[in-house]
Amino acid sequence: MPYALWANICISHKQTPGVSFGSPEWSMRIEMADLGGDFHGIVEARLSEQIILSKQSIVVPGGRCVSLVSVDAVIGFSEFVVKIDESYTPGTCEFDVIMNHEQEHIRANLSVMQNMSEEWRRALELASNSVMPIFVPAAQSPDHADEVFIRAIQSHPSIVLVRQRTESEKDFRNRQVDMRDDHRRLRACRD
Protein backbone atom coordinates (compact mmCIF):
# COMPACT_ATOMS: atom_id res chain seq x y z
CA MET A 1 0.00 0.00 0.00
CA PRO A 2 1.36 3.49 -0.82
CA TYR A 3 2.73 5.61 2.03
CA ALA A 4 -0.06 8.21 1.68
CA LEU A 5 -2.74 5.59 2.31
CA TRP A 6 -1.03 4.45 5.52
CA ALA A 7 -0.77 8.06 6.62
CA ASN A 8 -4.55 8.39 6.16
CA ILE A 9 -5.15 5.23 8.21
CA CYS A 10 -3.31 6.84 11.12
CA ILE A 11 -5.96 9.55 11.39
CA SER A 12 -8.26 7.02 13.06
CA HIS A 13 -5.79 6.97 16.00
CA LYS A 14 -6.22 10.69 16.74
CA GLN A 15 -6.69 11.49 20.43
CA THR A 16 -7.30 14.65 22.41
CA PRO A 17 -4.00 15.02 24.25
CA GLY A 18 -3.93 15.81 27.93
CA VAL A 19 -2.00 18.97 28.78
CA SER A 20 -0.24 19.85 32.00
CA PHE A 21 1.40 23.22 32.42
CA GLY A 22 3.73 24.57 35.05
CA SER A 23 6.32 27.23 35.66
CA PRO A 24 10.01 26.48 36.11
CA GLU A 25 12.05 27.11 39.22
CA TRP A 26 13.97 30.29 38.60
CA SER A 27 17.44 31.41 39.52
CA MET A 28 19.28 34.70 39.62
CA ARG A 29 22.91 35.33 38.87
CA ILE A 30 24.67 38.63 39.50
CA GLU A 31 27.48 39.81 37.25
CA MET A 32 29.57 42.94 37.35
CA ALA A 33 29.89 44.32 33.82
CA ASP A 34 31.01 47.36 31.89
CA LEU A 35 27.64 48.76 30.87
CA GLY A 36 29.25 51.74 29.16
CA GLY A 37 27.76 54.31 31.50
CA ASP A 38 24.37 54.00 29.78
CA PHE A 39 22.84 51.89 32.54
CA HIS A 40 23.41 51.34 36.24
CA GLY A 41 22.12 47.79 35.91
CA ILE A 42 20.11 45.55 33.61
CA VAL A 43 18.29 42.23 33.90
CA GLU A 44 18.40 39.61 31.18
CA ALA A 45 15.38 37.32 31.37
CA ARG A 46 15.10 34.20 29.26
CA LEU A 47 11.75 32.61 28.47
CA SER A 48 12.29 28.86 28.51
CA GLU A 49 9.93 26.35 26.97
CA GLN A 50 10.39 22.74 27.97
CA ILE A 51 7.91 20.34 26.39
CA ILE A 52 7.78 16.63 27.16
CA LEU A 53 5.55 14.41 25.04
CA SER A 54 3.86 11.09 25.65
CA LYS A 55 2.98 9.18 22.52
CA GLN A 56 1.17 6.04 21.51
CA SER A 57 2.67 3.87 18.81
CA ILE A 58 0.50 1.33 17.00
CA VAL A 59 2.07 -1.15 14.61
CA VAL A 60 0.51 -1.23 11.15
CA PRO A 61 1.81 -2.96 8.03
CA GLY A 62 4.91 -1.15 6.84
CA GLY A 63 5.45 0.92 9.96
CA ARG A 64 3.71 2.57 12.89
CA CYS A 65 1.03 5.12 13.55
CA VAL A 66 2.30 7.47 16.24
CA SER A 67 -0.16 9.74 17.99
CA LEU A 68 0.22 12.35 20.69
CA VAL A 69 -1.26 11.31 24.05
CA SER A 70 -0.15 14.09 26.40
CA VAL A 71 1.98 17.19 26.69
CA ASP A 72 3.78 18.23 29.87
CA ALA A 73 5.01 21.80 29.49
CA VAL A 74 7.14 23.90 31.79
CA ILE A 75 7.23 27.43 30.45
CA GLY A 76 8.42 30.62 32.06
CA PHE A 77 11.38 32.74 33.00
CA SER A 78 13.92 30.38 34.48
CA GLU A 79 17.16 32.32 34.56
CA PHE A 80 17.71 35.95 35.39
CA VAL A 81 21.12 37.51 34.90
CA VAL A 82 21.46 40.79 36.79
CA LYS A 83 24.28 42.88 35.39
CA ILE A 84 25.41 45.82 37.49
CA ASP A 85 27.89 48.34 36.18
CA GLU A 86 31.33 47.56 37.50
CA SER A 87 31.72 51.12 38.75
CA TYR A 88 29.47 50.20 41.71
CA THR A 89 30.91 48.29 44.67
CA PRO A 90 28.88 45.45 46.22
CA GLY A 91 27.65 46.32 49.71
CA THR A 92 27.44 50.07 49.06
CA CYS A 93 24.23 52.08 49.21
CA GLU A 94 24.30 52.66 45.44
CA PHE A 95 24.83 48.98 44.67
CA ASP A 96 21.96 47.99 46.98
CA VAL A 97 19.59 50.55 45.43
CA ILE A 98 20.45 49.32 41.93
CA MET A 99 20.04 45.69 43.02
CA ASN A 100 16.62 46.45 44.54
CA HIS A 101 15.56 48.12 41.30
CA GLU A 102 16.69 45.12 39.23
CA GLN A 103 14.77 42.80 41.57
CA GLU A 104 11.65 44.84 40.78
CA HIS A 105 12.25 43.91 37.13
CA ILE A 106 12.50 40.23 38.11
CA ARG A 107 9.20 40.43 40.02
CA ALA A 108 7.59 42.15 37.01
CA ASN A 109 8.74 39.34 34.70
CA LEU A 110 7.51 36.63 37.06
CA SER A 111 4.13 38.34 37.39
CA VAL A 112 3.73 38.29 33.59
CA MET A 113 3.89 34.50 33.53
CA GLN A 114 1.69 34.17 36.58
CA ASN A 115 -0.99 36.35 34.96
CA MET A 116 -0.70 34.61 31.59
CA SER A 117 -0.60 31.00 32.77
CA GLU A 118 -4.20 30.25 31.72
CA GLU A 119 -3.57 31.81 28.32
CA TRP A 120 -0.51 29.57 27.90
CA ARG A 121 -2.51 26.53 28.98
CA ARG A 122 -5.28 27.26 26.44
CA ALA A 123 -2.71 27.85 23.68
CA LEU A 124 -1.00 24.54 24.51
CA GLU A 125 -4.35 22.73 24.44
CA LEU A 126 -5.21 24.20 21.03
CA ALA A 127 -1.77 23.49 19.61
CA SER A 128 -1.62 19.94 20.99
CA ASN A 129 -5.09 19.08 19.78
CA SER A 130 -4.15 20.19 16.26
CA VAL A 131 -1.32 17.62 16.08
CA MET A 132 -2.38 14.74 13.86
CA PRO A 133 -0.99 11.21 14.16
CA ILE A 134 1.78 10.42 11.73
CA PHE A 135 2.86 7.30 9.89
CA VAL A 136 6.46 6.32 10.63
CA PRO A 137 7.92 3.76 8.19
CA ALA A 138 9.36 0.61 9.78
CA ALA A 139 12.90 1.73 8.85
CA GLN A 140 12.59 4.85 11.05
CA SER A 141 12.47 5.18 14.80
CA PRO A 142 9.11 6.27 16.27
CA ASP A 143 11.16 8.88 18.18
CA HIS A 144 11.19 10.80 14.88
CA ALA A 145 7.63 11.79 15.79
CA ASP A 146 8.88 13.83 18.79
CA GLU A 147 10.59 16.33 16.53
CA VAL A 148 7.56 16.56 14.22
CA PHE A 149 5.11 16.99 17.12
CA ILE A 150 7.23 19.54 19.02
CA ARG A 151 7.77 21.60 15.87
CA ALA A 152 4.01 21.53 15.18
CA ILE A 153 3.21 22.67 18.72
CA GLN A 154 5.85 25.41 18.88
CA SER A 155 4.91 26.84 15.48
CA HIS A 156 1.13 26.70 16.06
CA PRO A 157 -0.41 30.19 15.75
CA SER A 158 -1.82 30.11 19.30
CA ILE A 159 1.66 29.44 20.72
CA VAL A 160 3.32 32.03 18.50
CA LEU A 161 0.75 34.64 19.57
CA VAL A 162 0.94 33.92 23.30
CA ARG A 163 4.75 33.95 23.11
CA GLN A 164 4.65 37.35 21.39
CA ARG A 165 2.10 38.62 23.90
CA THR A 166 4.28 37.42 26.78
CA GLU A 167 7.31 39.28 25.42
CA SER A 168 5.22 42.39 24.79
CA GLU A 169 3.74 42.29 28.31
CA LYS A 170 7.23 41.74 29.75
CA ASP A 171 8.53 44.81 27.92
CA PHE A 172 5.53 46.88 29.02
CA ARG A 173 5.89 45.96 32.69
CA ASN A 174 9.61 46.60 32.66
CA ARG A 175 9.02 50.06 31.17
CA GLN A 176 6.57 50.71 34.01
CA VAL A 177 9.24 49.74 36.56
CA ASP A 178 11.68 52.16 34.93
CA MET A 179 9.10 54.96 34.72
CA ARG A 180 8.39 54.68 38.48
CA ASP A 181 12.09 54.99 39.26
CA ASP A 182 13.15 58.63 39.17
CA HIS A 183 16.60 57.85 40.63
CA ARG A 184 15.80 59.65 43.92
CA ARG A 185 16.90 56.60 45.89
CA LEU A 186 20.20 56.53 44.04
CA ARG A 187 20.77 60.27 44.49
CA ALA A 188 20.01 59.90 48.21
CA CYS A 189 23.04 57.59 48.49
CA ARG A 190 25.29 60.36 47.21
CA ASP A 191 23.97 63.01 49.60
- Distance between CA atoms of 68 and 140, rounded to whole angstroms? 17
Report the pLDDT value the prediction gives residue 8, as an integer from 0 to 100: 76
Is the confidence at residue 3, as pLDDT, over 70? Answer: no
pLDDT of residue 7: 59
Task: Decide if pLDDT at 191 tops 90.
Answer: no
Q: Which residues contact 81 (CB under 8 A, 6 or more apart)?
A: 28, 29, 31, 43, 44
Q: What is the pLDDT of residues 85-114, one digit of tens each?
A: 999 999 999 999 999 999 999 999 999 999
Could you tell me if 132 and 164 are in contact, meaning their C-beta atoms sit under 8 angstroms apart?
no
Mean pLDDT highest for which of 33-37, 144-148, 158-162?
A: 158-162
% of the chain with per-residue pLDDT over 90: 74
Q: Say what angle helices 93-129 and 144-154 make with each other, to 10 degrees.
A: 110
Lowest-confidence region among 6-20, 49-63, 149-163: 6-20
Convert the pLDDT of each residue in 109-150 to its tens digit.
999 999 999 999 999 999 999 999 999 888 888 888 999 999
pLDDT band at 36 (very low <50, low <70, confident <90, very high): confident
Poorest-pLDDT segment among 61-65, 69-73, 131-135, 183-187 = 183-187
CA distance 54 to 154: 16
Return the pLDDT at 182. 66
Is the pLDDT confidence value at 159 over 90? Answer: yes
> Domain spans of the chain?
3-190
